[in-house]
């Protein structure tokens, strides 16, 4: 189950400074090779969505999706 800390944020509500900082962070990640190939992302999302469709515990699917963020 998602906790408040795991909830996606609405970036439209961020300050300009926060938005700029998040863009800079992503740009630096890309420059430093902290990226994941699209095929890997697609495979992990597909697995998580299949788990949800097949009635797996929501926590299992959420863990698969959270794994993307930590990769």
2 lies in some domain: no
Q: How many structural domains compose the chain?
A: 1
What is the C-alpha separation between 46 and 23, in angstroms, rounded? 26
pLDDT one-digit tens code per residue, 23-70: 999 999 999 999 999 999 899 888 888 877 887 665 566 666 666 666
The per-residue DSSP string of 5-71 comes to GGSPP-GGGS-HHHHHHHHHHHHHHHHTT----HHHHHHHHHHHHHHHHTT--HHHHHHHHHHHHH-
Q: What's the domain range around 66?
A: 11-70
- Residue 68's CB is within 10 A of a number of other CB atoms, namely 13
Mean pLDDT calculated for residue range 10-17: 91
- Whether pTM exceeds 0.85: no
């Amino acid at each position: 189950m998602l906790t408040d800390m795991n909830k996606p944020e609405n970036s439209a509500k961020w300050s300009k400074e926060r938005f700029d900082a998040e863009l800079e962070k992503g740009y630096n990640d890309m420059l430093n090779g902290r990226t994941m190939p699209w095929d890997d992302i697609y495979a992990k999302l597909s697995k998580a969505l299949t788990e949800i469709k097949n009635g797996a515990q929501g926590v299992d699917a959420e863990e698969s999706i959270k794994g993307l963020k930590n990769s």
